[in-house]
Protein backbone atom coordinates (compact mmCIF):
# COMPACT_ATOMS: atom_id res chain seq x y z
CA UNK A 1 0.00 0.00 0.00
CA UNK A 2 1.36 3.39 -1.02
CA UNK A 3 1.76 5.88 1.80
CA UNK A 4 0.53 9.48 1.48
CA UNK A 5 3.31 12.08 1.03
CA UNK A 6 2.57 13.74 4.35
CA UNK A 7 2.85 10.39 6.19
CA UNK A 8 6.25 9.82 4.62
CA UNK A 9 7.31 13.29 5.75
CA UNK A 10 6.16 12.55 9.31
CA UNK A 11 8.14 9.28 9.34
CA UNK A 12 11.26 11.06 8.12
CA UNK A 13 10.82 13.71 10.79
CA UNK A 14 10.41 11.00 13.43
CA UNK A 15 13.61 9.24 12.36
CA UNK A 16 15.49 12.52 12.23
CA UNK A 17 14.18 13.45 15.68
CA UNK A 18 15.41 10.20 17.22
CA UNK A 19 18.82 10.73 15.65
CA UNK A 20 19.07 14.36 16.70
CA UNK A 21 17.91 13.56 20.24
CA UNK A 22 21.08 11.54 20.71
CA UNK A 23 23.35 14.15 19.16
CA UNK A 24 25.70 15.68 21.75
CA UNK A 25 26.18 19.37 21.04
CA UNK A 26 28.41 20.15 24.00
CA UNK A 27 29.28 19.43 27.60
CA UNK A 28 28.54 21.03 30.95
CA UNK A 29 31.55 20.72 33.23
CA UNK A 30 30.89 20.94 36.97
CA UNK A 31 33.87 21.43 39.26
CA UNK A 32 34.33 21.64 43.02
CA UNK A 33 37.86 22.23 44.23
CA UNK A 34 38.31 22.10 48.00
CA UNK A 35 41.07 21.86 50.56
CA UNK A 36 41.47 18.79 52.71
CA UNK A 37 41.85 19.08 56.49
CA UNK A 38 45.57 19.57 56.98
CA UNK A 39 47.68 16.94 58.66
CA UNK A 40 51.40 16.45 59.12
CA UNK A 41 51.26 13.48 56.76
CA UNK A 42 49.72 15.55 53.97
CA UNK A 43 52.67 17.93 53.94
CA UNK A 44 55.02 15.07 53.10
CA UNK A 45 53.24 14.54 49.74
CA UNK A 46 54.07 17.98 48.34
CA UNK A 47 55.52 17.65 44.84
CA UNK A 48 58.53 19.71 43.76
CA UNK A 49 57.95 20.56 40.10
CA UNK A 50 58.99 23.36 37.71
CA UNK A 51 57.07 26.65 37.96
CA UNK A 52 53.69 26.85 36.25
CA UNK A 53 53.39 28.81 33.02
CA UNK A 54 50.25 29.93 31.27
CA UNK A 55 50.27 28.96 27.58
CA UNK A 56 47.36 28.86 25.11
CA UNK A 57 44.80 28.51 27.87
CA UNK A 58 41.34 30.01 28.13
CA UNK A 59 40.41 31.77 31.36
CA UNK A 60 37.50 31.01 33.66
CA UNK A 61 35.75 33.97 35.25
CA UNK A 62 32.53 34.61 37.16
CA UNK A 63 32.56 38.31 36.19
CA UNK A 64 30.24 39.01 33.21
CA UNK A 65 32.32 42.01 32.09
CA UNK A 66 35.34 39.74 31.57
CA UNK A 67 33.64 37.14 29.35
CA UNK A 68 35.03 37.36 25.82
CA UNK A 69 36.60 35.21 23.09
CA UNK A 70 39.38 34.07 25.43
CA UNK A 71 37.40 33.78 28.68
CA UNK A 72 34.59 31.34 29.54
CA UNK A 73 31.83 32.06 32.03
CA UNK A 74 32.28 30.24 35.35
CA UNK A 75 28.71 30.04 36.65
CA UNK A 76 27.03 28.71 39.82
CA UNK A 77 26.45 24.95 39.87
CA UNK A 78 22.93 23.84 38.87
CA UNK A 79 23.52 20.08 38.72
CA UNK A 80 21.58 18.61 41.67
CA UNK A 81 24.19 16.02 42.63
CA UNK A 82 27.01 18.56 42.64
CA UNK A 83 24.84 21.10 44.49
CA UNK A 84 24.27 18.51 47.21
CA UNK A 85 28.02 17.90 47.54
CA UNK A 86 28.73 21.63 47.61
CA UNK A 87 26.20 22.18 50.40
CA UNK A 88 27.65 19.36 52.50
CA UNK A 89 31.20 20.68 52.34
CA UNK A 90 32.14 23.34 54.92
CA UNK A 91 32.11 26.70 53.17
CA UNK A 92 35.62 27.56 54.35
CA UNK A 93 37.00 24.42 52.70
CA UNK A 94 35.69 25.26 49.22
CA UNK A 95 38.28 26.97 47.04
CA UNK A 96 36.17 27.27 43.89
CA UNK A 97 32.88 25.72 42.75
CA UNK A 98 31.14 26.29 39.47
CA UNK A 99 30.25 25.15 35.99
CA UNK A 100 31.07 26.08 32.41
CA UNK A 101 30.09 24.90 28.93
CA UNK A 102 32.17 23.56 26.06
CA UNK A 103 30.90 22.79 22.58
CA UNK A 104 31.43 19.38 21.01
CA UNK A 105 33.07 21.18 18.09
CA UNK A 106 35.76 22.59 20.38
CA UNK A 107 36.62 19.13 21.71
CA UNK A 108 36.70 17.75 18.16
CA UNK A 109 39.32 20.32 17.17
CA UNK A 110 41.78 19.91 20.03
CA UNK A 111 42.15 19.32 23.80
CA UNK A 112 40.75 22.23 25.80
CA UNK A 113 42.77 23.99 28.51
CA UNK A 114 41.55 26.54 31.05
CA UNK A 115 43.61 28.73 33.36
CA UNK A 116 42.08 29.36 36.77
CA UNK A 117 42.91 31.97 39.39
CA UNK A 118 40.95 31.29 42.57
CA UNK A 119 41.69 34.84 43.78
CA UNK A 120 39.55 36.14 40.92
CA UNK A 121 36.72 33.62 41.30
CA UNK A 122 36.58 33.33 45.09
CA UNK A 123 38.58 36.11 46.81
CA UNK A 124 37.45 34.87 50.23
CA UNK A 125 39.35 31.57 50.09
CA UNK A 126 42.35 31.32 52.39
CA UNK A 127 43.98 28.79 50.02
CA UNK A 128 44.49 30.69 46.76
CA UNK A 129 45.24 28.38 43.86
CA UNK A 130 46.24 28.97 40.24
CA UNK A 131 47.03 26.68 37.34
CA UNK A 132 45.66 24.81 34.37
CA UNK A 133 42.93 22.25 33.70
CA UNK A 134 43.02 20.28 30.43
CA UNK A 135 40.32 17.98 29.05
CA UNK A 136 40.86 15.78 26.00
CA UNK A 137 37.97 13.79 24.57
CA UNK A 138 38.30 10.51 22.68
CA UNK A 139 36.30 7.51 23.87
CA UNK A 140 36.81 8.84 27.39
CA UNK A 141 37.86 12.14 28.91
CA UNK A 142 41.50 12.52 29.84
CA UNK A 143 41.62 15.13 32.61
CA UNK A 144 44.94 16.75 33.46
CA UNK A 145 45.25 19.26 36.25
CA UNK A 146 48.36 21.19 37.16
CA UNK A 147 47.69 23.44 40.13
CA UNK A 148 49.74 25.28 42.72
CA UNK A 149 49.02 27.33 45.81
CA UNK A 150 50.50 30.77 46.38
CA UNK A 151 52.06 29.90 49.72
CA UNK A 152 55.58 31.28 49.92
CA UNK A 153 57.18 28.86 52.38
CA UNK A 154 55.80 25.48 51.29
CA UNK A 155 53.53 25.76 48.24
CA UNK A 156 51.37 22.80 47.28
CA UNK A 157 51.81 21.53 43.73
CA UNK A 158 49.35 19.08 42.20
CA UNK A 159 49.88 17.46 38.82
CA UNK A 160 47.89 14.40 37.79
CA UNK A 161 46.21 12.90 34.72
CA UNK A 162 43.03 10.87 35.15
CA UNK A 163 40.71 9.07 32.73
CA UNK A 164 37.06 9.95 33.35
CA UNK A 165 33.59 9.17 32.03
CA UNK A 166 30.75 11.62 31.52
CA UNK A 167 27.57 11.30 33.58
CA UNK A 168 29.60 9.89 36.47
CA UNK A 169 30.73 11.56 39.67
CA UNK A 170 34.52 11.67 39.54
CA UNK A 171 36.49 12.23 42.74
CA UNK A 172 40.20 12.97 42.66
CA UNK A 173 41.78 12.55 46.06
CA UNK A 174 45.00 14.18 47.20
CA UNK A 175 46.38 14.79 50.70
CA UNK A 176 46.00 18.58 50.30
CA UNK A 177 43.34 19.20 47.67
CA UNK A 178 40.20 17.30 46.66
CA UNK A 179 38.37 17.62 43.35
CA UNK A 180 34.83 16.61 42.43
CA UNK A 181 34.13 16.66 38.70
CA UNK A 182 30.92 15.86 36.86
CA UNK A 183 30.62 16.15 33.06
CA UNK A 184 27.11 16.28 31.63
CA UNK A 185 26.58 15.83 27.86
CA UNK A 186 24.27 18.46 26.36
CA UNK A 187 21.92 17.08 23.71
CA UNK A 188 19.57 18.59 21.16
CA UNK A 189 16.08 18.76 22.61
CA UNK A 190 13.16 17.54 20.53
CA UNK A 191 11.41 20.85 21.16
CA UNK A 192 14.19 22.61 19.28
CA UNK A 193 13.41 20.71 16.08
CA UNK A 194 11.32 22.97 13.83
CA UNK A 195 9.86 21.50 10.69
CA UNK A 196 7.09 22.80 8.45
CA UNK A 197 4.66 20.09 7.34
CA UNK A 198 3.11 20.27 3.87
CA UNK A 199 -0.58 21.28 3.88
CA UNK A 200 -3.02 18.40 3.73
CA UNK A 201 -5.58 18.15 0.95
CA UNK A 202 -8.99 19.35 1.97
pLDDT at 89: 92
Residue 189 has pLDDT above 70, yes or no: no
Largest CA distance in the chain: 84
**How confident is the model at residue 81, as a pLDDT?**
93
* pTM (predicted TM-score): 0.75
What pLDDT does residue 159 have? 87
Model pLDDT, residue 20: 47
pLDDT tens for 94-137 read 999 999 999 988 888 889 999 988 988 998 888 888 889 999 99
Per-residue model confidence (pLDDT) at position 199: 52
pLDDT band at 10 (very low <50, low <70, confident <90, very high): low
Whole-angstrom distance, CA of residue 28 vs CA of residue 98: 10
pLDDT tens, 29-72?
999 999 887 654 444 444 444 444 555 677 888 888 777 777 88
- Name, in order, each residue with C-beta under 8 angstroms of 174's C-beta and a sequence gap of 6 or more: 36, 45, 158, 160
pLDDT digits (tens, 9 = 90+) for 70-86: 788 899 999 999 999 99
Per DSSP, 42 falls in state H
Query: Which pLDDT score, from 0 to 100, does residue 5 have?
Result: 59
Overall average pLDDT of the 150-154 stretch: 70
d(CA 67, CA 107): 20
pLDDT at 108: 85
Tell which residue, 199, 139, 169, has the closest CA to residue 4. 199
Tell me the average pLDDT across 167-189.
Answer: 86
pLDDT, residue 39, reads 52
Nearest-angstrom CA–CA distance, 29 and 68:
19
Q: What is the pLDDT of residue 12?
A: 55
Confidence of residue 155 (pLDDT cuts 50, 70, 90): confident
Label residue 197 by pLDDT band (50, 70, 90). Answer: very low
Q: What is the pLDDT of residue 188?
A: 66
Amino acid sequence: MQKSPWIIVLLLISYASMSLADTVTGYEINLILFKQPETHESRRHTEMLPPLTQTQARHLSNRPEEIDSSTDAFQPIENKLMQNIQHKLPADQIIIAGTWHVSAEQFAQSPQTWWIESDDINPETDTPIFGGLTLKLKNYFDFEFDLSTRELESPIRLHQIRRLKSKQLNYIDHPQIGIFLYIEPLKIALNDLKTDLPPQDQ
